Structure 1
Amino acid sequence: MTVSLHVPARLPARLSCVAFAIASALSVAGCTTTASREPVTINLVAINDFHGNLEPSRYTPTGLDGAKEQAIRAGGIEAVAAALQAWRKEDKDLLFVSAGDLVGASPALSSLWADEPTIEAMNMLDLRASAVGNHEFDAGRKELLRQQHGGCDSPRPAKACQMGPDFKGAKFTYLAANVIDSATGKPFIPGYKIETVKGVKVGLVGVVLQDTQSVVMASGIAGLAFGDEAEAINRAIPEMRRQGADVIVALVHEGGTTTDNPMQPDCANLKGPVVDIAKKLDPVVRLVISGHSHQGYLCNVDGRIVTQAGSYGHLATRIAMQVDTARDRVTGLRVENVVLKPGDFPADARMTAFMASVKERSRAALIRPVARLASAPVLRMQNEAGEAPLGSLIADAVLAATRNVGAQIGFMNEGGIRKDLEAGPDNVAAFGQAQAVLPFGNTLVVMDLTGAQIRTLLEQQWRSASPNGSMLQVSNGFSYRWDAKRPVGSRVLDITLDGKPLEAGKTYRVVANDFLAEGGDNFPEFAKGSNRLETGLLDLDAFTEYLRNIEGQGASLAPAAPRIMKAQ
């Protein structure tokens, strides 16, 4: 669906009795009338899951035939800024919104400075509202409030207000209608915002996935309850209407997947949580802008349009929403996903200058060499059994860093590995490239688990919605098989440590990052570990130190023998 950017002229919304009398040279006491009004086109641009990717990154387009095309560089804040600048020349009233995860899991250029550069850049782009994503809670509720309101009182004092002495916070509004403060029974932050565009009051209501508590640190969201997304949106609508909202747009940080091309209009094969959310919404909501699943799609769900723009600024969704102003209803929607490639639009000079200053401020830290790799890149993509070369490498690294306190087995969650480990000339990996792999700043926790608990832990890999599970990456010396034909709860076979069968009643010392240690990513068995030691050691520091120690070893960083095996 190609977006039309033609904006029809709008007649005055209503003529009062006095105005009508002047216009007609008549005066009729007590009369009221409504002038006929033409539709108005509201143009929106939406992104989601930007994750502080201020620079372009690798993107693999999908052809019209569904085949993957040659990878390109796309996204980054300068490409987003250039596109918005061009589109605002066509419509100065364009409304820029986000469906969450603007920050968190960010590359070093943003995360070095507590993601303040990304917040500042979004301010420069006149972002008006964003649903809160789960990653906005990565550093806890206190840091999310600081990012909204500004200031330097942060749980990350070594990073906050280091780019500049005074952080003002976001000029846009974070929205979370379904996040309730248990102490007050009210939304933790605003649930909605009303923007007036060409005389039309556009109600923006935002929610985050209800399952946020399973994908963020439990300690960071203490006292917050995450409710049903659709119920929260529907609950907000009457109040938004009372405050004059003419039309309602839902910003939903939850998503789905589809086999359809990201550019295909009116796709009908969307699956996943956002479909159920969309089906339960009040009929007044015709447009759902989604996120979280890092997919691109333009789908139709029971007559509603549900969109998503991939991730990292690779895509932007352009939306032309036609509004019948006489009846306050959306009468047409045209949507288009656009790949944002550097150079496709004239540069935004202010953003180019801003990025130059951020890069110069960050340059020394980012280019610091870490180690020469035997081969590069080291991939995070898993094989059929669920094992990835990079995942194994990280599990080995966290184990090596904690052997001195008794650790025997290292675990790493796949969701914590955000990028392949890349390298520059001569296969030398720089700090910025290593940090892009592990951007969360997690610390390592060592604990005791029995053999029976470790078996339970491994069985929990199939608790997620993914048919292939959410596979933990494991350290050298630990191995097992699993059988997809067996029922969930009894799939794991032949667990060994250093060649010996794991004993159910024996205690083993394991290490994982603090997110996993609190039961994150649907692994509650970790939270039951005893004799816990909070090492305070960053996973990134353990990783870079390990890379230095094994520098130049072998022809490949991939494990010599499989650790996770799938029964045939």
Structure 2
Amino acid sequence: MTTPTRKRATAAAAVLGTAALVSAFAAPAGAAVLSPSFIEPTAGAKQINLVGFNDFHGRFLDADLFAATVLQAQQGFGEENSLVISNGDAVGASLFESSIQQDQPTIDVLNTMGVDVWTQGNHEFDQGIDDATGRLASATNGPDLAANVTLADGSYPFDTHAIFEVNGLKVAVIGAVTEETSALVSPDGIEGVTFGDPVEGVNKVAAELTASKAADVIIASYHEGAPLDDAPIADNEQSDTFRHIVEDTAPEVDAIFNAHTHRQYAYDAPNGASTRPVIQAGQYAENIAQVALTVDASGNVTKSDSSIVPTLEAVPEALESDPRIAEIRTIRDAAVAEADVLGAEVVGTQTGDLSRGKEYEPGSLVVAEDGTTSGGIVTTADNRAEESSLGGIISQSMLETVAATGRDVDAAIMNPGGLRADLLDDDGQITYKEAATVIPFANNLSVVSLKGVDVKNVLEEQWQLTADGEVPSRPYLQLGLSDNFTYVFDSSRPRMDRIVGLSIDDEPVQPDETYNLVMPTFLAAGGDNFHSLANNVGVQDTGLIDLDAFVSWIRSETSASPEGVTPDLKRNGFEILGLPENNTFVAGETYTLTVSKFNLTSLGFTQNLSIVGWIGQMELGAQTVDLSTPNRVEFTFTLSENGIANSSESRLAFLASQSGAVASLPVIVPPMVEPTPTPTPTATTEPTATAEPTPTASATAAPVPTATSPAADGGSLATTGSDENAMFAAIAGALALLVAGGAAMLLRRRAGSDA
């Protein structure tokens, strides 16, 4: 088989125009058209065959199968009557075999496969605008599109659209990337670049194309999409972002491809009096999104067919002789061989899986008598809203590695999106490739100096808002924290008032003191909507690459102990609901506190079976965890007048008895003061006026400073303590009696004990 001539494309960075007409086919509005089959052409009809894919992310190991799927989808229509569209994130967050070679193998196989047009995704900007417009754009065989990306002078660094001749028709493809890109890549690399509203970007181009009658059909390729797989369109339109795409994209647009959210769906969505296809193929070369548009003699789209087609499990015999398949296999095999050489070195050992947060099928986990978990059917492999053992390990490695250089550092934080794979204990060894697969972005490590009030606000911003005040598609992102960085939160409180306790090295975080936090440059520049990092009082680039630092730390851990890297089973943050105003408890009163979020969800996490509590010197007892609500217990108690030390400031503390995680924060317990007795009148004197009782301490005590209202005298933010906190020294013996193996539980993970 000879390689067919590709379609001729005309691209423009300036906005042009077309006479595309509104789609006129009449499928039921909002109908789902998800199908697993290739679309067959309609005999005698004039059709345009569109083959799209998204979020490929360097998954080229089965590129021959994926290419065969793309080629097979074109066979009935003919390649000259088809367009192949990459809808963004073709590269970035890639497999090690691709990332170690700057994704060149991925670009090579996609070029060979015959991608006609490349919409930009947020990951195309991972190494900055210069890399995206330079190295990457020069490597792709086809126009690179982004109609909503502009430079400081208002110019477009990419083509806004491209026009192709397909089956005798002029077909325009307009590309746009998610508006969230500025928060998803390092801001330092995109300085002066604006990521506008993608719908506005598409509509501007569509209007100009319509006015100039430059095309017969318009396709929108959005690197943005809906949050749910194959759900009714009304459910997905609960997302403002997706509803904006569906309802506000100009009616002249005949078909809409989506991406970014890694979902599978295909709709005939309302478009005025008719409908149009809205489709996304999922992720990682698992499927293609095929759309066939039927066009009448006047150039009107009269019908559409859509299908999500899974990647073939074998190359069809008819395609085995296609030279493109052979070339793709050659590219893949050479890249894998090179990556094997680069990544085979064993850098250390591990005991136990270190993984990202998970979601499990209810009832599938097995919990042993000691709280050890096993089994479990994972339904979400990367739950970025959950604290993870891997996030804690990476943060600890950053802190210890930078501290070893002699820099003054206090704690470390890691963004969950920077963790792209689990570090599984399949053979007890960690290779360079495995480490690189976990953190593939090659960020430098920075030391960011922040006042305590902004340290607290960074944690508040885990509840996400964009710079424009919008809730992004991931409304909560759980930061990974080093061992010594702990906190208590209350998610029911208003935004920026949810962190109620915060400590570093067991000491309360002081609002006016400066703390030096280690983090990747992505975070240091305010990535992932952690805006308070911009309030820093200094940023230092350590010159260390995150991967190099991680590998060095793994070597050090392995050198110190044959066990090497061990899982971090303790959560850094607990939730406590029901705290009284200003954390002030009154003796004699009854309180109910809900303690939750004391378990991790990582692979092999420890299920805590009881939670032990204290307030001051008063034990609140041990609450058994009901496995039907495995991450929540309630404490109801009446505060004893004799159970609190003479000092009005005490600690509220909870110990998760299996994992050894501890949360504590200072509370106020005013001492009881007896009121002045009222004199008793006598028969020989007039009754005296009743004396006012002397105010009790609870009525006169100044409000305790809270995390959102630092004391004027520099009072501390409310604090949590780790399991080495001095406050527990006096009750260590009691813990040993209350909790089997309690003494061992109070020991920190060995790797963090010297930090």
TM-score category (smaller protein): 0.7 to 0.9
User: Partner amino acid for 2:570?
Assistant: A
The alignment yields a C-alpha RMSD, in angstroms, of 2.3
- Structure 1's unaligned 5+ residue stretches are 10-37, 56-75, 151-168
8 Å contact 2:161–2:173 — kept in the other structure? yes
User: Partner amino acid for 2:457?
Assistant: T
8 Å contact 1:299–1:305 — kept in the other structure? yes
Instruction: Tell me whether 108-117 or 339-348 shows the greater mean CA deviation.
Output: 339-348
8 Å contact 2:133–2:157 — kept in the other structure? no
8 Å contact 2:348–2:555 — kept in the other structure? yes
- Residue in 1 aligned with 2:553? 546
Structure 2 distance, partners of 1:247, 1:383, is 39
- 1:399 equivalent in alignment to 2:399: yes
8 Å contact 2:384–2:416 — kept in the other structure? no
- Residue in 2 aligned with 1:114? 102
Deviation of 1:507 after TM superposition, in Å, equals 1.4
Aligned partner of 1:329 among 291, 300, 309: 300
8 Å contact 1:148–1:173 — kept in the other structure? no
Deviation of 1:117 after TM superposition, in Å, equals 1.5
CA 1:149–1:337: 2 relative to 1, 3 Å: closer
CA-to-aligned-CA distance 1:347-406 (integer Å, 9 cap, x gap): 622211221111122221122222222123533437898311111111111111111311
- Residue in 1 aligned with 2:52? 46
8 Å contact 1:323–1:331 — kept in the other structure? yes
- 1:293 equivalent in alignment to 2:299: no
CA 1:384–1:289: 2 relative to 1, 3 Å: closer
- Which structure exhibits the higher relative contact order, with contacts defined as CA atoms closer than 8 Å and separated by 6 or more residues? 1
Aligned partner of residue 333 in structure 1, secondary structure: strand
Given the two structures, how large is their TM-score scaled by the length of structure 1?
A: 0.82
User: Partner amino acid for 1:428?
Assistant: Q
User: Partner amino acid for 1:137?
Assistant: F
Structure 2 distance, partners of 1:364, 1:454, is 42
Aligned partner of residue 391 in structure 2, secondary structure: helix
Aligned partner of residue 204 in structure 1, secondary structure: strand
- Residue in 2 aligned with 1:86? 72
Structure 2 distance, partners of 1:270, 1:343, is 34
8 Å contact 2:137–2:144 — kept in the other structure? no
8 Å contact 2:108–2:331 — kept in the other structure? no
- Structure 2's unaligned 5+ residue stretches are 1-32, 359-381, 466-471, 577-593, 595-755
Alignment size in residue pairs: 495
User: Partner amino acid for 2:235?
Assistant: N
CA 1:495–1:443: 2 relative to 1, 3 Å: same
Structure 2 distance, partners of 1:495, 1:345, is 60
Structure 1 distance, partners of 2:209, 2:144, is 16
Structure 2 distance, partners of 1:255, 1:428, is 39
CA-to-aligned-CA distance 1:213-233 (integer Å, 9 cap, x gap): 122222222222222211111
Deviation of 1:407 after TM superposition, in Å, equals 1.4
Instruction: Tell me whether 348-357 or 131-140 shows the greater mean CA deviation.
Output: 348-357
- Residue in 1 aligned with 2:280? 308
Identity %: 30
CA 1:448–1:178: 2 relative to 1, 3 Å: same
- 1:375 equivalent in alignment to 2:376: no
- Residue in 1 aligned with 2:235? 269
Given the two structures, how large is their TM-score scaled by the length of structure 2?
A: 0.62
Aligned partner of 1:358 among 322, 335, 344: 335
Structure 1 distance, partners of 2:314, 2:186, is 39
- Residue in 2 aligned with 1:410? 412
- 1:457 equivalent in alignment to 2:458: yes
CA-to-aligned-CA distance 1:197-246 (integer Å, 9 cap, x gap): 11122110000112221222222222222222111111112433426311
CA-to-aligned-CA distance 1:493-544 (integer Å, 9 cap, x gap): 2112222221112211111100100111101221222232101111111112
After superposition, residues 48-447 of structure 1 pair within 5 angstroms as 48-55=54-61, 76-93=62-79, 94-150=82-138, 169-183=139-153, 185-241=154-210, 242=212, 244-258=214-228, 260=230, 267-271=233-237, 272=239, 273-302=241-270, 303-324=275-296, 326-340=297-311, 342-343=313-314, 345=316, 348-376=325-353, 378-381=355-358, 386-403=386-403, 404-422=406-424, 424=426, 426-447=427-448
CA 1:566–1:462: 2 relative to 1, 3 Å: same
CA-to-aligned-CA distance 1:90-147 (integer Å, 9 cap, x gap): 3332321011111112222122222222111111011011211111111112111223
8 Å contact 1:49–1:310 — kept in the other structure? yes
- Residue in 1 aligned with 2:492? 485
Deviation of 1:39 after TM superposition, in Å, equals 3.7
User: Partner amino acid for 1:531?
Assistant: G
- Residue in 1 aligned with 2:616? none
User: Partner amino acid for 1:49?
Assistant: D
- Residue in 2 aligned with 1:163? none
8 Å contact 1:323–1:332 — kept in the other structure? yes
CA 1:467–1:295: 2 relative to 1, 3 Å: closer
Structure 2 distance, partners of 1:310, 1:5, is 18
8 Å contact 1:385–1:565 — kept in the other structure? no
Aligned partner of residue 550 in structure 1, secondary structure: helix
Instruction: Tell me whether 405-414 or 206-215 shows the greater mean CA deviation.
Output: 206-215
8 Å contact 2:354–2:389 — kept in the other structure? no
Deviation of 1:460 after TM superposition, in Å, equals 1.1
Structure 2 distance, partners of 1:460, 1:560, is 24
Deviation of 1:328 after TM superposition, in Å, equals 2.0
- Residue in 2 aligned with 1:521? 528
CA 1:405–1:555: 2 relative to 1, 3 Å: closer
CA 1:268–1:41: 2 relative to 1, 3 Å: farther
User: Partner amino acid for 1:339?
Assistant: P
Aligned partner of residue 405 in structure 1, secondary structure: coil
Deviation of 1:8 after TM superposition, in Å, equals 4.7
CA 1:149–1:175: 2 relative to 1, 3 Å: closer
Deviation of 1:338 after TM superposition, in Å, equals 2.2
8 Å contact 1:4–1:320 — kept in the other structure? no
User: Partner amino acid for 1:450?
Assistant: K
8 Å contact 1:49–1:294 — kept in the other structure? yes
User: Partner amino acid for 2:299?
Assistant: D
Structure 1 distance, partners of 2:151, 2:383, is 42
User: Partner amino acid for 2:216?
Assistant: D
After superposition, residues 468-479 of structure 1 pair within 5 angstroms as 469-479=476-486
Deviation of 1:79 after TM superposition, in Å, equals 2.4
- Residue in 2 aligned with 1:71? none
CA 1:385–1:198: 2 relative to 1, 3 Å: closer
Q: Which has the larger radius of gyration?
A: 2
8 Å contact 2:229–2:265 — kept in the other structure? no
Aligned partner of residue 67 in structure 2, secondary structure: helix
Structure 2 distance, partners of 1:143, 1:446, is 25
Instruction: Tell me whether 338-347 or 507-516 shows the greater mean CA deviation.
Output: 338-347
Structure 2 distance, partners of 1:468, 1:141, is 26
8 Å contact 2:39–2:290 — kept in the other structure? no
User: Partner amino acid for 2:174?
Assistant: V
Aligned partner of residue 439 in structure 1, secondary structure: coil
CA 1:500–1:48: 2 relative to 1, 3 Å: same
Structure 2 distance, partners of 1:376, 1:488, is 35
